[in-house]
Structure 1
């Protein structure tokens, strides 16, 4: 850090572990008044995670100067002799994550009007992301936007065949529907790839303010509305119903209804959402396939075993929506 004249030069270095898993480990670094975060693959992670780290770096660096809430891009290091893996440093976000909490933090635990803002802010994050001029930011080679939707079914059905251990009822129906339909329009843009409450941070206190979109492992240039479909695939219209507390891993009671979320996204992004059913079917279909990989490798892992019936229900829901949805694409 000193050799690269980064902030805090000459100050003693303090660090603390924030989180980690099979993909990345995250530590806070503090040097005097300077705080930043290191993101680095664990030593036993596959070699391609180093390339993934550089990919993430390109995205957060490109977000500087945009309206998208994000972590500051501080520095990257591809020299594996330093820490054994490629890593980058990003700015420290002073806020909170919805993950790992039994309830929303105050005041969102009791103030449902304030809680509604969390939902609107979540939608606004990807709406702003969809407006980023990715080509001007040098991300023209980050993905393959041409033929993006034409590749989706083949890509994920081939993936399913590689991990297949059982048939999933409704998969053929949903797959056929997706092959036969396309979005009303397709405007390529920067997308997160796994957008949900788990991958954002909020500023402390009310009103709800999105502080940063984080975890860009799946980021690419494709169709930004895939993020929208992924986000709302289980989002109810009536969020005051008791079922809303169980529709997700967070309590959605008090949040705006699905149609309100869609309207806010459309207003901020400038994109139409009349074809949202296509994206919801695609999201449910893909989610079932992705979760099936973990289920087939569950072994004695009870958490992964529990995905079994969830996967079945999710694929059935994709097929049922496909059977009742038709529009000219």
Structure 2
């Protein structure tokens, strides 16, 4: 999650108020408008109207090419999840017919652990341990949702078969950047070959978050419960076990933001107890997550060679890519068995 500078003055609150009136929402002046830092490059602004708090989510003033489509997808996902037990921001209303697309959601009463731990979490190791289990429980809940609530969303047919070729093609595309010498990633070919040989034969399609890790979770202020899974812009219909693999690939060490989290094997066992999915190939999903994330991060390293990203950031992310492929090697050797 990255902070961005947000100018509240760029929002036309008169037009927003008129639109809210048309949605039948409580009227009155809009007060207390303030930016919400964190999240993606999209703008988030908190405000109140008619005694009710809201979060406005909309594209930045200089929108990226896919900004509006991303918000259309997000609003559709949040609308579909509104009637489920999945902890997600509660959608109030969305404007998706014209651009800029935006939507309103209820504020989440919670905190993100990457910004620090409040009490009682900071001083209670039992709560911190339970936070890890609750992360697995929230993911299992998402995996139980019938993907039919999102008709035509994603391409589940051949989803797993596409992964290795898709990300190797992405890596090859970095060669178009001036100055990039090509990927120097030990274990790259071995990992790709292992993934191809051990591809799971079947899977049950479901809703995937697409970027499921601790920085995209908000926890309740009074205990270990996940208050909301946030940042749904990568959501699709695919294999939800890849979300579990992503969680394992990015699992914080005990000297991270939340000391005392359960070990990855305990996370797998807890998820297994809550899910009807076949986890016999869980190691494959963890390796696949390391492979994909490592290649994604290498893109910034490549752009740094072309002067399109800061060199120090590129070097840092390249080091992270190397550590992810090292972790993939551990998973291939049976670290999760």
Q: Give the TM-score normalised by the residue count of structure 1.
A: 0.87
Q: Which residue among 174, 179, 186 is the counterpart of 2:191?
A: 174
Q: What is the CA–CA distance in structure 2 between the aligned matches of 1:198 and 1:106, rounded to whole Å?
A: 19
Query: Could you say which residue in structure 1 is the equivalent of 2:265?
Result: 259
Q: Which residue among 59, 77, 97 is the counterpart of 1:41?
A: 59
1:268 aligns with 2:274: yes
Query: Could you say which residue in structure 2 is the equivalent of 1:240?
Result: none
Please say if residues 199 and 214 of structure 1, whose CA atoms lie closer than 8 Å, have aligned partners that are also in contact: yes
1:313 aligns with 2:330: no
1:156 aligns with 2:159: no
Query: Could you say which residue in structure 1 is the equivalent of 2:255?
Result: 245
Q: What is the CA deviation profile of residues 127-169 of structure 1, one whole-angstrom value per residue up to 9, with x for unaligned ones?
A: 000000121x1x1211111101110011110000001432322
Please say if residues 249 and 327 of structure 2, whose CA atoms lie closer than 8 Å, have aligned partners that are also in contact: no
Please say if residues 78 and 89 of structure 2, whose CA atoms lie closer than 8 Å, have aligned partners that are also in contact: yes
Q: How far is the alpha carbon of 1:192 from its aligned partner?
A: 0.2
Question: Which secondary structure state, in structure 1, belongs to the residue aligned with residue 138 of structure 2?
Answer: helix
Shift >6 Å, 4+ stretches: none
Please say if residues 22 and 42 of structure 1, whose CA atoms lie closer than 8 Å, have aligned partners that are also in contact: no
Q: Give the TM-score normalised by the residue count of structure 2.
A: 0.85
Q: Which residue among 238, 248, 273 is the counterpart of 1:232?
A: 248
Q: What is the CA deviation profile of residues 27-55 of structure 1, one whole-angstrom value per residue up to 9, with x for unaligned ones?
A: 11211420111111112122321011101
Q: Which runs of 5+ in 1 are unaligned?
A: 237-242
Note the aligned Cα RMSD (angstroms): 2.1
Q: Which runs of 5+ in 2 are unaligned?
A: 1-18
1:106 aligns with 2:119: yes
Q: What is the CA deviation profile of residues 188-235 of structure 1, one whole-angstrom value per residue up to 9, with x for unaligned ones?
A: 1001000011111111112x1111111101000000010101001254
Q: What is the CA–CA distance in structure 1 between the aligned matches of 2:30 and 2:319, rounded to whole Å?
A: 52
Please say if residues 213 and 250 of structure 2, whose CA atoms lie closer than 8 Å, have aligned partners that are also in contact: no
Please say if residues 301 and 311 of structure 2, whose CA atoms lie closer than 8 Å, have aligned partners that are also in contact: no
Query: Could you say which residue in structure 1 is the equivalent of 2:133?
Result: 120
Q: What is the CA–CA distance in structure 2 between the aligned matches of 1:106 and 1:265, rounded to whole Å?
A: 27
Q: What is the CA–CA distance in structure 1 between the aligned matches of 2:82 and 2:146, rounded to whole Å?
A: 12
Question: Which secondary structure state, in structure 2, belongs to the residue aligned with residue 19 of structure 1?
Answer: coil
Q: How far is the alpha carbon of 1:176 from its aligned partner?
A: 0.9
Q: How many residues in Structure 1 have an aligned counterpart in Structure 2?
A: 307
More helix by share: 2
Please say if residues 213 and 251 of structure 2, whose CA atoms lie closer than 8 Å, have aligned partners that are also in contact: no
Question: Which secondary structure state, in structure 2, belongs to the residue aligned with residue 146 of structure 1?
Answer: coil
Q: What is the CA–CA distance in structure 2 between the aligned matches of 1:259 and 1:185, rounded to whole Å?
A: 23
1:289 aligns with 2:295: yes
